[in-house]
Amino acid sequence: MIRLPVAADVCERAQVLIAAAVLAGLSGVAGASGCDTSAFDALAGAERSRWEEFDAQGKSLVRERGTLKLAGLQASGHCGTIDWTAQWTRSQGPRSYDGFTTRQVPLETRSQLRATALNLAAWLPVTPGWAIGAQLGHRQIDRDIATSGNVLGYPEQFEYLHAALGARYQAALGQRLGLTVSGWLGAGPAGRVRVDLPRADPVTLALGSSRLLALSLQLDGGETVQTGWSWQASLNYRREQAGAGTPEALRRNGVTVGAAMQPRVVQQHLGTAANLTYRF
């Protein structure tokens, strides 16, 4: 593995502290605007991650698979009849990498993934048990491709936004147990990926527009309404697609040496998570 960030563990702790500060700040803004914060969550889990890249003819160029560890923080509350949530998550771990070199020679290596996501969502109840929602999200993915033999690895950083509409259904399964089913469909504008290739100057490539599909099945237990502790266990699926970008010149010491573009990317994640919640 090459060019991992310096003092990565310190950076990770800093990101957690920043995320906590951001969620606390959003809660403060909600309180100042007449809304309330009713709960804070800590969550942990794991997800099976799959990453594929395709050329213009739909041929697979890269396949990655691996299991990522997941951790996060969440704040939630109410603004009148609207429920809101602000969630920060971080997932990381290794994946196997099957692809091709620039000379179309098959290449097997590994990649290391570190992804952070910030989602802001609002739900409006429309009938007993049913609600419609809107969501804004930001994704940053740091991906380090390992060196394999005489093929040098390199780091990439993807960044993009999305907006989504959703539906949610909630039902009581018992006095202290509930069921929540939700789904999101969304899209986003063109993002970007910063690439530091081994024999060229760092370059920023455009991504195409993105699409999102997300589904969640969640069990809610404990004091889900009253003050106190509660828990949630969920099964989650997410599919994200970013279209191919446009070609960009590659330079070495300012001299053009070629061109590169980011192909279409499809990500799929299937995982489980457990939340521990305290309600005020």
Q: Residues 103-124: pLDDT tens digits?
A: 778 889 999 999 999 999 999 9
pLDDT of residue 104: 77
Mean per-residue pLDDT of the chain: 88
pLDDT of residue 64: 97
pLDDT of residue 225: 62
Q: Show the tokens assigned to 127.
A: 């009938």
Domain-located, residue 55: yes
Return the bridge partners of 85, or none.
76, 121
> Any residues with CB less than 8 A from the CB of 259 and at least 6 apart, and which?
247, 248, 249, 250
In whole angstroms, what is the distance from residue 202 CA to residue 88 CA?
29
Is the model's pLDDT at 191 over the cut of 70?
A: yes
- Provide the residue range defining the domain that includes 226: 8-279
CATH number for 246: 2.40.128.100
Domain-located, residue 267: yes
Q: DSSP secondary structure string, 160-219?
A: EEEEEEEEEEEEEEETTEEEEEEEEEEEE---EEEE--TTS--EEEE---EEEEEEEEEE
CA end-to-end span of the chain: 45
pLDDT of residue 159: 97
Are the C-beta atoms of residues 133 and 125 closer than 8 Å to each other? no
Domain-located, residue 64: yes
- Nearest by Cα to 93 from 115, 108, 73: 115
Domain-located, residue 153: yes
pLDDT tens across 231-268, in order? 999 999 999 999 999 999 999 998 999 999 999 999 99
C-alpha torsion sign, points 209, 98, 96, 193: negative
Are the C-beta atoms of residues 179 and 219 closer than 8 Å to each other? yes
Is the model's pLDDT at 33 over the cut of 60?
A: no
pLDDT tens across 216-241, in order? 999 998 765 668 889 999 999 999 99
> CA of 256: how far to CAs of 69, 123, 151, in Å?
40, 50, 21
Rounded average pLDDT over 153-163: 96
Type of residue at 65: R
Residue 67's Cβ-count burial label (10 Å; 0-12, 13-18, 19+) is middle
In whole angstroms, what is the distance from residue 120 CA to residue 97 CA?
32
pLDDT of residue 103: 73
Domain-located, residue 1: no
Rg, C-alpha atoms of the chain: 21
**Quick one: pLDDT band at residue 32, thresholds 50, 70, 90?**
very low
Type of residue at 149: G
Distance of CA 80 to the CA centre of its chain: 29
For a pLDDT cut of 90, what percent of the chain falls above it? 72
Q: What is the pTM of this model?
A: 0.85
Is the model's pLDDT at 95 over the cut of 60?
A: yes
Q: How many domains does the chain have?
A: 1
